Amino acid sequence: MKEPPFYFFILLILHSALMLMAGLYILANFGRLFRRNFRNELLRENVVVWLAAICMIMALAPVSGDFVGILLRKGIMHAIMVQTIFATINTLFVFNITRFVARSVPVKRKSFTKQKAIVLITIIVCTILINIPLNYIFNDFSVKNIKYSVLFSFYNACAVGMVYIAMSYVDLDRKRKLNQKELEVVRLSELKTKAELEALHSKINPHFLYNALNSIADLSITDGKKARKMTIALADLFRFSINYSNNNYSTIREEVEMAEVYLQIEKIRFEDQLNYSILVQEGVDHYLVPRFILQPVVENAVKHGLKATGHMTDITVTVKVEGEKLVLNVADNGPLFPEQLVPGYGVKSIYDKLDLLFPGQYEVQFSNEPVKQVSISINNLMKNEPGVQDNRN
């Protein structure tokens, strides 16, 4: 047999380098390649591993004297065919067994180091078991050459296993960093929401105080008992408004009590000019809504009805569940809503809170027919479970 020319070995080295880079690139992008081409995840993974196996085997083949011998004796097509068979059988046998082991529940429960050690051992054992008979069949191996086959398969499996472990570690580190970023984004979003809600509360409370103190100041001159009664009601109102638990939600019971205390204050001021009724469906007391969502609507009914006209004003507050919705209605007999309604601060605060706490799950309607009312519908029924348990006890 003629000695191959010098450039033949240069070409083999270049070929090995290119195949090795291609194989590493395929492995590095294992999870992203051919996602649009294959709907079946197992089939896609087998195709990707098969391509990587061909590249890796072709990269390591020049190290084997048998490959060079086959190449010189039978030509390049025969040598490529043999390596393709090796890659195909290794993919079907080694990869799928390793995949099954790596995804088994007992292995998943182990630590990262133990998982990868088991996978590496599986790759090595499977590679040796399949490559010994393949080398014997296609490379004319005798029993005397089995030691060489085992060593070559061992080094080949170790190389693939180390690449797999390195990729897994990089992927784990990337996921850890991504989770940290996501947690940071969630934390910042929660802080932003909390700050916005606290800002809304801090603006509403002085508004209550300003109106109530003016009323008390007027009554203190004309009727001391009523002034005292209003002061106690104001204290109750602020007891509700102070957020001791730092919670953005309150129960229907708390919201109704807060609205009723406000109406009591206005009833003291205007006496017979204001009537109100509150109807709450049984079993809805412990549903959660944003804090201060009902009182601003009631205040608007008083402000635009009784205060604006000076006429007798009837206000009806209704809370009920309709299907999967929690509905809060505030109806009054004051002037109708204009066609072009410009919401004031109180109504804007309701929208802001619902946007923050129930985004895309609410509806606010202003209607004049069949009765004039504001209707707030919340599609997400959230219960204060501790409150329900306490009530049962």
pLDDT for 1-11, tens place per residue? 455 566 666 77
Which tens digits make up the pLDDT trace of 16-43?
A: 788 778 877 887 777 778 877 888 888 8
Could you say which residues of the chain have pLDDT below 70? 1-9, 12, 60-76, 78-79, 138-146, 148-149, 181-209, 211, 241-246, 307-310, 385-393
Task: Indicate the residue among 176, 196, 211 that finishes a domain.
Answer: 176
User: Would residue 184 count as lying in a domain?
Assistant: no
Return the HEC string of the chain. Answer: CCCCCHHHHHHHHHHHHHHHHHHHHHHHCCCCCCCCCCCCHHHHHHHHHHHHHHHHHHHHHHHCHHHHHHHHHHCHHHHHHHHHHHHHHHHHHHHHHHHHHHCCHHHHCCCHHHHHHHHHHHHHHHHHHHHHHHHHHHCCCCHHHHHHHHHHHHHHHHHHHHHHHHHHHHHHHHHHHHHHHHHHHHHHHHHHHHHHHHHHHHHHHHHHHHHHHHHHHHHHHHCHHHHHHHHHHHHHHHHHHCCCCCCCEEEHHHHHHHHHHHHHHHHHHHHHHEEEEEEECCCCCCEEEECCCCHHHHHHHHHHHHHHHCCCEEEEEEEEEECCEEEEEEEECCCCCCCCCCCCHHHHHHHHHHHHHCCCCEEEEEECCCCCEEEEEECCCCECHHHHHHHHC
Residues 139 and 70 placed together within one structural domain of the fold: yes
Residues 13 and 125 placed together within one structural domain of the fold: yes
Task: Output the pLDDT for position 278.
Answer: 93
Residues 266 and 151 placed together within one structural domain of the fold: no
Residues 228 and 375 placed together within one structural domain of the fold: yes
Residues 150 and 239 placed together within one structural domain of the fold: no
User: Would residue 205 count as lying in a domain?
Assistant: no
Residue 287: which domain range? Answer: 223-392
Task: Output the pLDDT for position 61.
Answer: 62
User: Would residue 300 count as lying in a domain?
Assistant: yes
Task: Output the pLDDT for position 310.
Answer: 67
User: Would residue 153 count as lying in a domain?
Assistant: yes
Residues 136 and 283 placed together within one structural domain of the fold: no
Residues 275 and 358 placed together within one structural domain of the fold: yes
User: Would residue 254 count as lying in a domain?
Assistant: yes
Residues 111 and 48 placed together within one structural domain of the fold: yes
User: Would residue 348 count as lying in a domain?
Assistant: yes
Residues 261 and 153 placed together within one structural domain of the fold: no
Residues 137 and 36 placed together within one structural domain of the fold: yes
Residues 172 and 29 placed together within one structural domain of the fold: yes
Report yes or no on whether pTM surpasses 0.85: no
Task: Output the pLDDT for position 141.
Answer: 54
How many structural domains is the chain composed of? 2
User: Would residue 204 count as lying in a domain?
Assistant: no
Residues 375 and 241 placed together within one structural domain of the fold: yes
The CATH number for 346's domain is: 3.30.565.10
